[in-house]
A = this chain, B = another copy of it.
């Protein structure tokens, strides 16, 4: 098997505009940095709380749920794996709209779970009937979706969950940049599990901390499957501080959303087909559709990293993370330079 292909991570010293893995362009809250500096040698020496109790209390307060509804993990990737293994044994079926987060098929393969992909309906609408018809043990999708950035209305998710006893996992990794979220559904539907991460909205991708919010019975089952000590004391303290200072994060979300709308307009003006996004990235179809891979390389040469998925249905597209204003300016300048001045590979090959 091939394993998951994460986006490129340039080495610390490299000067590059990094718009390929949807990191937050702004630093984390100063309170997070302070919380990390306050970690004592004694806290490092001892095993952490197995269930990240301190974080559960903070998250429960912020989200208005009981602490027993919260499960912390080593990044939301850890949570996704735990949920999959809790609900799907070898040979069982996981159903996903396609395309969605490219980690799900990898996790399924590792767990000998059969993944049935169901193409999105036109306009990236949820293919509810087909998802239900596949009769899986669980249905996973990201909302906002990756790599499209598109949004499934909450009512559609409720209808899906009402039509099945399977676990409906809504991966809200990008929800901090959206207009709404699924929290209100938890009271009505026990088979909905929400996953969240601190990697995007809270600018803590380096820390690996995510969590699930769901019915206490679901969370208790997942707790048996997770590693005994899956979260470290530093990440727990940082996540608590970050969630406690949500106002700081919210200020950055507003800037990113505004920049997303500016980029949308600027990219359309340059001939890209842009999908309206509720996330901190845009999926764009390049003006000359065949050359997305070439444009990716042309941008990279100019010091701007974006994401190119060399896969059917995505190979004429680029996924571009929304950066800070100056980074987005640099992206647009690099796009202009690449599209105006460079001969296309086809032109080159016919002239040599």
Interface set of A (CB-CB < 8 Å, partner B): 1-4, 6-7, 9, 12, 18, 21, 23-24, 26-28, 32-33, 36-37, 39, 41-50, 74-75, 77-78, 81, 85, 89-90, 103, 110, 112, 199, 203-208, 223-225, 227-235, 238
* Contact in complex: B204, A230 (CB < 8 Å): no
* Contact in complex: B235, A9 (CB < 8 Å): no
Decide yes or no: A203 and B44 within 8 Å by CB, A3-B225, A231-B208 being known contacts. yes
Decide yes or no: A207 and B223 within 8 Å by CB, A21-B47, A44-B33, A77-B229 being known contacts. no
* Contact in complex: B206, A2 (CB < 8 Å): no
Contacting residues, chain B, for A42 (C-beta < 8 A) = 27
* Contact in complex: A77, B227 (CB < 8 Å): yes
Please give me the residue from chain B that is nearest to A41 by CB atom. B27
* Contact in complex: A45, B205 (CB < 8 Å): yes
* Contact in complex: A205, B1 (CB < 8 Å): no
Decide yes or no: A207 and B232 within 8 Å by CB, A47-B9, A112-B89 being known contacts. yes
Contacting residues, chain B, for A207 (C-beta < 8 A) = 44, 232-234
* Contact in complex: A47, B229 (CB < 8 Å): no
State the main secondary structure of chain A at its contact with B.
Answer: loop
* Contact in complex: B235, A6 (CB < 8 Å): no
* Contact in complex: B74, A45 (CB < 8 Å): no
A207 to B32, CA, bound (A): 17
Known contacts A24-B45, A74-B78; can you find 20 more A-B pairs with CB under 8 A?
A2-B224, A3-B223, A6-B228, A27-B41, A27-B42, A28-B44, A33-B44, A36-B39, A36-B44, A41-B203, A43-B206, A44-B204, A44-B205, A44-B238, A47-B205, A74-B227, A75-B227, A78-B227, A90-B112, A208-B230
Contacting residues, chain B, for A49 (C-beta < 8 A) = 9
Decide yes or no: A6 and B50 within 8 Å by CB, A74-B227, A208-B230, A208-B232 being known contacts. yes
What 5 A-B pairs come out closest when comparing CB atoms? Answer: A27-B41, A3-B224, A206-B233, A90-B90, A208-B232
A193 to chain B, nearest CB (A): 18
Please give me the residue from chain B that is nearest to A220 by CB atom. B3
Contacting residues, chain B, for A12 (C-beta < 8 A) = 43
A85 to B112, CA, bound (A): 11
Could you show 22 A-B contacts with beta carbons less than 8 Å apart?
Answer: A1-B224, A6-B47, A12-B43, A33-B39, A36-B37, A36-B39, A36-B44, A36-B234, A45-B205, A47-B199, A48-B208, A74-B230, A89-B112, A90-B90, A110-B225, A206-B234, A207-B234, A208-B229, A208-B230, A208-B231, A232-B234, A232-B235
